[in-house]
Structure 1
Amino acid sequence: MTPLVPHWIRRKVILPVAAAAVLGGANIPPLWSAVTQWQHERLINSANYKELHGFWQVVELPKGQRVNAIHAALLPSGKILLIAGSGNDRAQFDAGTFKTLVFDPASGATKFVPTPTDLFCAGHTFLPDGKLLVAGGTLRYELLEPAVKRAGGTMTVKNESPDGDRSFPKGTTFVATDGKRYIANDDFVVPSATKTEIKGRNGGHTSVTVTAGQTAVWVDAAEDGTGHVRTGHAQYHLDGLTGVDAQNIYGIADKIDLEKQDYQGRKETYEFNPFTEQYERVADMHEKRWYPTLTGLPDGSVLAVSGLDGSGEVVDGTQNEVYDPKTKQWTVRRDLDRYFPTYPALFQTDRAGVLFYSGSNAGYGPADKGRDPGFWNLADNSFEAVPGLRDADLLETSMSTWAGPVQDQTVMVVGGGGVGESSKSSRRIDIIKLNEASPRFQRGPDLPEGTRYPNLVQLPDDTVLITNGSSNYRGRNGSDNHTARIYHPDSNTLTVAADPHVGRNYHSAAVLLPDGRVLTVGSDPLFRDKKNTISGTFEQRLEIYTPPYLFRGSGPVIGEGPTTVRYGQQATFTTLLPDNVRSARLIRPSAATHMLNTDQRSVALDVEAGAGSVTVTVPSSPALMPPGPYMLFLVDKNGVPSQARWVQVG
């Protein structure tokens, strides 16, 4: 079967006649180059090549419909949500221009969605009802030291009154004893003080202890220059407060200076409704987060960890919090005290209450803290490190995913680089089976070159596509890899996939489509040339990969069947050739950004052929498959998948 290619994504192919006409007066080296290019084009367009290696097609949306795709999620409608926010563009941020695009890969249709705040570098995961939870984002862009004109720092605001929380708007002014003024860059709420009564022994005097409530907010000096720099502990009063309020509520800062000011996170949270295609505001997180990880748990709740806070510091582990989709509220879980660098790869294992941290992360945080992979037990907050991972100092900008069905409990860690702007990169693919008696990483096949920023996509035939990435930091020195491989978990081997046309590094993503193809988006290189002299531009072209299995004939067709499947129960779907169905998989849709896509997981179903139908049995454990939308794929004996059918698991 030759997959149908929508008219809007056909890619140009150099024809021999056109090449000869253009090259009539050319000298030998250009002629040789053009002929070689034509031969390459003919090869990759041949049926034999496609059946072995697959095929890539570049997609260029109309100029007015392009975005800097920082985040990509496959919605239960089959459409793709591309979130840019400000798109790593300070001019867009300063202008308050934030973008979200809904793209239909079946028709090519696009639609901009009103974006309420800067969701650039937020976290996300799917909820049980199919909505996408999006939390955090960018409150402030970084300023390097030479660009810092106004002193800034963290103001701790205290409230010694037990008579209720107090809210203050962005722009609230704190005044020093010498009259210098400092302005809050965001709204903030100061909790009320708490009273604790301590009764005396044998009916003695009862004493009352009052503990002030407190919060933190970033402040900037009201004027430029060194005159507003503060280097010592000092107290500030809030402009406009008088009387008892002025005594009870005040600010304290240890330093306000002109040093580098890092990115700062937001606390706003939204549910994106895939059916109305609108953001719906829910309760704010308790902590601001930029680069957080959101992990769906078996009961449908969501755990949020890490990210940069409102001062540009990595969120402390005591501020991990859980979202309840029923109440749409966040609860701080101080019992889950665990520190991670930003965008840590956390996987829900087949044991409820146990997460696996592969060590993959996106970068912010010290090199010697929170980098070791292991099991995190949420019941008692214990952490069990696992050994054996190669290049353990090159986990930043690596990516991890399940390899094969989630029942196998096998996680792979691919590529990565050194901390920060290191030029180091790893060729590593290491594998760990989480359900072994003493889990440890084992060596897998190496990539052909060092790879930072790889993207991994689980396919319906149980293989994993590895694509995108560069061998140097953000594609420096023209280091985009332009290669792809397919990992086979059953044999622990790699096979060659067709080379993508578009190089992709930082801020790229890849997602599985319902027809079994893969969409890749994004890339944010520092430079466009090998000498690093021309500033890079964000890659707005998309590219779609058609895997080899779609060139092997027609796959199964799923007919009538339920739209909801339940844990431990059976479901029957009609199909024309049930005896030809080899396997059935439920694949959770991707929500990808920054080498992070822990939402994706493939669940193997027991399948039994009937008369014009197949009956599948759904696993009974929500830990294996957290509730929410899944794509049902039937795969035939040639490894060809069906078009997916959306079902709700719960």
Structure 2
Amino acid sequence: MKIRNAGRARRFALGSTVALTVAGMNAPAVLGFAGEQYHQYAINRPDYKAEYGHWQTVTLPAEFRINAVHATLLRTGKILIIAGSGNDQKSFDAGTFRSLLWDPAKNTYKPVPTPADMFCGGHGSLPDGRVLVAGGTLRYEALDGAVKKAAGTMRVRNENPEAARTFPKGTVFTAPNGRGYASTAEVTVPAAVKTGGGDRTVVTAGEQHVFVEAVAPGADSVYGSPAQYTIKGLTGADARDLYGMSEHLTLEKQDFQGVRSAFEFNPDTEMYEQVTDMAYARWYPTLTGLGDGRVVTVSGLDDTGRILSGNDNEIYDPASRTWSKAPDRYFPTYPSIFLTASGRLFYSGSNAGYGPADKGREPGLWDLRDNTFQPVPGLRDPSLTETSSSVLLPPAQAQKVMVLGGGGVGESPLSTARTDIADLSAAKPAFTPGPDLPAGGTRYLNSVIMPDDSVFTTGGSGDYRGKHRSDLLKAQFYHPDTNRFSTAAEPAVGRDYHSEALLLPDGRVVVLGSNPLFADKADSEPAAFEQRVEIYTPPYLFHGERPQVTGAPDVAKLGGTVAVSTPKPDGIATAKLIRPSSVTHATDVEQRSVALDVTGRSGGGVSLALPANPDLLPPGWYMLFVTDGAGTPSVARWIKVTA
């Protein structure tokens, strides 16, 4: 396993004296060389940085460049970057699946063996600091005209109540006209269920579906009507009890298909560990942690390319590493679902990619205990929530969720500058208007909670996947206390689909990925996946000396008090625990900032009180930041919160 050390790579950690590969803000081409020189001079002036911050654009060593589709900050300070096949058909066909561990502080890189295609799966942090990764890609889409073999869903039935049956990938189902269709995955069909007795015995066939495609290519392989299929190789009673049923097998467009597999990434061993498979395959699911440490998993495309119906939600228990049934509720893919202080889950309406325009788009509070759903009205531009960003505004105690930007369903060119805020603490929760995004209509915006209680937003595009060169080289801060945006320095790299941004323990922001469709304004040249990384240093890190945390416990209990050592306790204005991000597709339901009360000061430190509510402060690892009166944060200390 290759490890790249800081001594052999270019450093870009804070305070480094080693040269960086740095590109400044985009300057208009008409400025020419002299104008660009002045632009670089202007953005590197101390007064400019102190007001707007500063960007560094970093090119990783070639052997460690990766298509960053998913990114999770670990309690070790390292970032787990998952590409899987990286939206690359050739990598998928070759079985080349990639993950990378990157340590921004030490500037080290380590490839991680990746046992399955986790591309477009779901993920979230567990209470012990492990990362649950569930779902991914079984099969890439095939567009109209590219499908050469008729294919579709085969419902495999078992009328034998004595035993389940497993059929390997490649099992052939034969149509009444003699044409064969091979399964694309292994399938296990449960035994039939027998009820009653005697003359009143009823046998209900066990059933499981699998995707099949014709053995022979061509239009003759299309079977356009419902039919029963025999299973090649079966004889006697098996041939009677086991068979396939399909409505039709066609040459129509085929969507991506998901997998059932799930893994935990262990930050100590830095390896994936396989856990029990989900009952349902998922591609584009959302995983949301609960106050008791379990994880609810919803939505996605199944292993035939159909969006899950909502009666297939599951809950993962990290204690047993097993899955169980969750209450029924339909959502479009990658729905933004946040745990609230009441224990209910808030669906903001934000989502990504798949699902009908008239189903599952309404925001609301979902109670897993009785499976009730309370709509939250007032969201403007409700048809433009796909590829929008949602964030639980700081502090989490305010129980406000903001929806930012978004676009139309599917490949719509429409986008919106709308931001709206839902106050979930109100007797009748509803959205109220927020300020418009300064850059105008924006899809794929990344939003990051900062230690000074602002929200940093960056990137995005005005059109679907950056079409017509619509990437927005803009960044800004939203300030919940004043309900206003302020300008930040402009990034140099456009970011749209498959991009991520997350907060580092040193208070900076790292931005990765981007997967535009085209490289030119005419949309005639295909674009490469963006592999450059940007690091944004906020203005507060150019304001002089920052507070220090010189000592803190490794573990803190809900409802308890922690003693934090700091050389200037009188200068500490605020303290908060920020949960590390786990982000993909503009969806990050993990990050939250929970304010801590400063209950005492002494010559050597401060005492901080933690909330007792696990639904407000879910058990797990957090970054502890303290800030001074100007909002300048310390470097974070990692603390594990336990029940």
Both proteins in one fold, TM over 0.5: yes
Provide the residue aligned with 1:628 in structure 2. Answer: 620
Residue 34 of structure 1, CA deviation: 2.0
Q: Which residue of 2 aligns with 1:342?
A: 333
Corresponding residue to 2:307 among 293, 309, 314: 314
Q: Is the partner of 1:317 in helix, strand or coil?
A: coil
Match of 1:298 in 2: 291
Q: In the TM superposition, what is the alpha-carbon distance from 1:552 to its structure 2 partner?
A: 0.9
Letter in 1 for 2:621: P
CA distance in 2, matches of 1:473, 1:6: 40
* Superposed CA offset, 1:164-215 (max 9, x none): 32222211221223321111111111111112227xxxxxx77322211111
- Structure 1 residues 32 and 231, CA, compared in 2 at 3 Å: closer, same or farther? closer
* Deviation at residue 7 of structure 1 after TM alignment: 2.5
Runs of 5+ consecutive residues of structure 2 not aligned to the other structure: 1-12
1:594 partner amino acid: H
The code of the aligned residue for 1:141 comes to Y
Identify if the C-alpha distance between structure 1 residues 410 and 332 changes in structure 2 by more than 3 Å, giving closer, same or farther: same
- 1:209 paired residue number: 202
Aligned to 1:549, which of 540, 551, 571? 540
Out of 317, 320, 329, the residue aligned to residue 322 of structure 2 is 329
Equivalent of 1:359, from 349, 362, 365?
Answer: 349
Task: Say if 2:595 is the partner of 1:595.
Answer: no
**SS of corresponding position for 1:91:** helix
- Helix, strand or coil: the match of 2:56? strand
Q: Indicate the residue corresponding to 1:4 in structure 2.
A: 15
* Structure 1 position 400, deviation (Å): 0.1
Deviation at 1:636, TM superposition (A): 1.3
* Contact 1:3-1:550 within 8 A present in 2 as well: no
Contact 1:8 1:108 in 2 (8 A): no
Q: Helix, strand or coil: the match of 1:33?
A: helix
Task: Tell me, in whole angstroms, the C-alpha distance in 2 between the residues paired with 1:73 and 1:30.
Answer: 36
Return the letter of the residue paired with 1:377: D
Q: Deviations over 1:601-632 (max 9, x none)?
A: 00111113223021111110110021111111
State the match for 2:369 in structure 1.
Answer: 379
Q: In structure 2, do the counterparts of structure 1 residues 94 and 32 end up closer, same or farther at CA, with 3 Å as the change threshold?
A: closer
Matching residue of 1:166: 165
Tell me what 1:23 maps to.
none
How far 1:4 sits from its partner (Å)?
Answer: 1.6
* Residue 243 of structure 2: aligned partner: 250
Matching residue of 1:278: 271
**1:566 partnered with 2:557:** yes
Residue matched to 2:84: 85
| In structure 2, distance between residues paired with 1:417 and 1:159 | 44
- Contact kept, 8 Å, 2:578 with 2:592, in 1: the verdict is yes
SS in 2 for 1:421: coil
**Helix, strand or coil at the partner of 1:390:** coil
SS at match of 1:360: coil
In the alignment, the residues of structure 1 paired with residue 531 and residue 126 of structure 2 have an alpha-carbon distance, to the nearest angstrom, of 28
What are the residue-to-residue correspondences of 1:56-205 with 2, within 5 Å? 56-197=55-196
Q: Is the 8 A contact 1:569 1:617 kept in 2?
A: yes
Cα separation, partners in 2 of 1:149 and 1:307, compared to 1, 3 Å: same
Partners of 1:510 and 1:160 in 2: CA distance: 51
Q: What aligned pairs does 1:251-650 form with structure 2 within 5 A after superposition?
A: 251-333=244-326, 336-352=327-343, 354-448=344-438, 449-607=440-598, 608-650=600-642
SS at match of 1:145: coil
Counterparts of 2:230 and 2:19 in 1: how far apart (Å)? Answer: 61
Once the 2 structures are TM-superposed, how far is the Cα of residue 31 of structure 1 from its aligned partner? 8.7
Deviates more, 1:96-105 or 1:604-613: 604-613
CA distance in 2, matches of 1:387, 1:525: 33
Alpha carbons 1:550, 1:640 under 8 Å: kept: yes
For residue 113 of structure 1, give the secondary structure of its aligned residue in structure 2.
strand
Contact in 1 for aligned 2:552/2:637 (Cα 8 Å): no
State the 1:243 CA deviation: 2.2
Verify the 8 A CA contact 1:453 1:470 in the aligned structure 2: yes
CA–CA distance in 2 between the matches of 1:530 and 1:461?
38
Residues 410, 30 of structure 1: alpha-carbon distance in 2 compared, 3 angstrom cutoff: closer
Give me the whole-angstrom Cα distance separating, in 2, the residues matched to 1:30 and 1:57: 20
Letter of the aligned partner of 1:73 in structure 2?
Answer: T
Tell me the distance in 2 between the aligned counterparts of 1:111 and 1:575: 34
Distance in 2 between residues matched to 1:179 and 1:235, nearest whole Å: 12
Higher mean Cα deviation, 576-585 or 188-197? 188-197
**Aligned-partner residue type, residue 368 of structure 1:** D
Tell me the amino acid that sits aligned with residue 558 of structure 1: V
Relative distance call for 1:8 and 1:182 in structure 2 (3 A) is farther
CA distance in 1, matches of 2:17, 2:231: 61
Offset of residue 32 of structure 1: 4.8
Q: Aligned in 2, Cα 1:250/1:406: closer, same or farther, shift over 3 Å?
A: same
Q: Is the CA contact 1:6–1:107 (under 8 Å) kept in the aligned structure 2?
A: no
Structure 2 residue identity aligned to 1:640 = T
Which deviates further from its counterpart, 114-123 or 634-643? Answer: 634-643
1:7 aligned counterpart, secondary structure:
coil
Task: Specify the alignment match of 1:19 in structure 2.
Answer: none
- Where 2:490 maps in the other structure, the secondary structure is coil
Tell whether the 8 Å contact from 1:339 to 1:370 is kept in structure 2 after alignment: yes
| Residue 227 of structure 2 is aligned to residue 234 of structure 1 | yes
Q: How many angstroms does 1:482 deviate by? A: 0.2
Residue of structure 2 in register with 1:201 after alignment? none
Q: Which deviations, in whole Å up to 9, do the C-alpha atoms of 1:22-56 show, x marking residues without a partner?
A: xxxxxxx9895222222221111111111111111
In 2, Cα distance between equivalents of 1:191 and 1:33: 70
1:356 maps to amino acid: F
Which AA in structure 1 matches 2:71?
A
Contact 1:6 1:106 in 2 (8 A): no
CA contact (8 A) 1:445 1:493 kept: yes
Output one character per residue of 1:581-613: Cα deviation in whole Å (capped at 9) or x when no partner: 111111111000001000000011111322302
Q: Which string of whole-angstrom CA distances, capped at 9 and with x for unpartnered residues, describes residues 254-306 of structure 1?
A: 10111111110111000011111111000111111000000101111111100
* Whole-angstrom CA distance in 2 between matches of 1:227 and 1:115: 39
Distance 1:209 1:613 in 2: 72
- Amino acid in the other structure paired with 1:38: Q
* Residues 471 and 494, structure 2, Cα contact 8 Å, conserved in 1: yes
Paired residue secondary structure (1:491)? coil
The two structures have a TM-score, normalised by structure 2, of: 0.95
The separation in 1 between residues aligned to 2:606 and 2:161, in whole angstroms, is 64
CA contact (8 A) 2:24 2:57 kept: no
1:124–1:13 CA distance, 2 compared to 1 (3 A): closer
Identity %: 53
Size of the alignment, in residue pairs?
A: 626
What TM-score comes out, normalization by structure 1 length? 0.94
C-alpha distance 450-343 of structure 1, shift in aligned 2 (>3 A): same
Q: 2-side partners of 1:184 and 1:614: how far apart? A: 63
Contact 2:540 2:632 in 1 (8 A): yes
Greater CA drift, 392-401 or 443-452: 443-452
